Chain A
Amino acid sequence: MATATTQDLHEEHHGAPKSFVQRWLMSTNHKDIGTLYLIFSLTMFFVGGSFAMLIRAELFKPGLELVQPYTFNELTTMHGLTMIFGAIMPAFVGLGNWMIPLMIGAPDMALPRMNNLSFWILPFAFILLYSTLLLPGGGPAGGWTMYPPLSLQSGSLAYAVFAIHLMGISSVMGAINIIATILNMRAPGMDLVKMPVFVWSWLITAFLLIAVIPVLAGAVTMLLTDKYFGTSFFNPGGGGDPVLYQHVFWFFGHPEVYIMILPAFGIISEIIPTFARKPIFGYKAMVLAIACIAFLSFLVWAHHMFAVGMPVGADIFFMYATMLIAVPTGIKVFNWVATMWGGSLTFETPMLFAIAFVVLFSIGGFSGLMLALVPADFQYHDTYFVVAHFHYVLVTGAAFAIMGAAYYWMPKWSGHMYSEFWGKVHFWCSLVFVNVLFFPQHFLGLAGMPRRIPDYNVAFAGFNMVSSIGGFLFGASQLIFLGVIIHCVFFSKQKAANRAWEGAKGLEWTVPSPAPYHTFEVPPVVRDEELAHSGADD
């Protein structure tokens, strides 16, 4: 097991600044910054979740019950922006910050000061965004996609655009840091084709971020100039076209969807081999599938806008290109199942989340295939079917993977084992209630209930009530998650071993638990048999 010659004798926090301000506000340590990202992400998860609770409370029964329509639109907009830019993306950046240097044997991220800056931009961006709710006229209410002309009616557009620019700059700096780290800071012997799949998934995601964030910046700046500088990009009255915005936005937006799911693929590819006690099946195929999905994500943007009326040739191209994504995704699902096949499976909490991910993400993938069909999309477009689809991808996909990752790596972060009993309670409650929340929304969509409405026909009342009850219970279940984390970090008596899981392989499990403040100051010796995919036949 002695593969890493790290300075194990270090105390847990040896070298850590004593002052709180220096340790947390001015930190350049990848573990501390990773922790900051994860705490921020969890906070935003609860903030965005509370917006969702209000939305579901309003939709509990027909009629305007709690909020006015404009406030409802503000809630859906803020919920989307918070969950995407505040919860899911920072969670993956936090996991990347914590784990990538440990997995590749690097002492830290390549650009530690920029790492600090890219984190600390985020809280200010969200304070700016939320401050718009207090402005006269209210916050942005045109949905997270900010389609004109609706979004141009908001008096707080400039604030929202500036906040989005800040979030984008933060993401780009994070992406530069991750690429520079992975390409240059690997320990001797850690070739690219020996890297864990999670590291690969982040490398590809970082390139996606670099390619599309400037496009988002351009799109929202055009909104700004249309509103305040007399341009007419999206104003037909001045020769513009609102559909242009949709093209530019979704050229960013669809790769953004993959930015939120590719690191999740990487996480699942770490968890399943550990608890199946087998190397990942088809390592190279898994990496190529991620790269293939990333490439295809640039060719499918217009499937979000079939209903605007494009030429038939364009409809057909985007339909088939979208369906093509099912091939590399199918390879991944097949390989995860093949990894489990014949393995010595055990079902600890991370594995439960990983298996739930494979099944429920596939449901989200299949409903995505239904939406890819142009004639069918004309029926489903802008209905609750779409809401159900992307929540299966982003909640039971991305969020479940993040929760699984938290349980998987928490012993390495905190030095203690979490309560397996309460972890499983959290899992089963989440699994049941997330389906109660989102599965009926498929039926609502098929029956014709539109998205983004605070009131609806009484015919939709039953399923909406069920969905809201599921939503409240799913939200409450996440308090168990919070309790498990607090207990594990502050109160758990059960010490975690260096290798917290019997089947775990990789450099991160060779350092003590909790990981010392500085690791791999002396580069580790990388042995093939200790890598996560050692023994894989390709």
Chain B
Amino acid sequence: MLNCHDATRLMSESQERPLSMIERMSLKLHLMMCSGCSNFKEQMGSIRLMTRTFAKGKNEQEKK
């Protein structure tokens, strides 16, 4: 049974490597029961989007 620390680790690593079948299954089970980690999952996507937007468009937003 995965704990939250391991679940966040897998979610982080999934951005660098494909997870194994077993990892995906246990993560999925964990996420079904854990709202905190479900939020974490969403937020990983948001943070990636934020960082890339930050790299490109920050100047335009600042100026106006």
Please determine whether chains A and B interact with each other in the same assembly: no
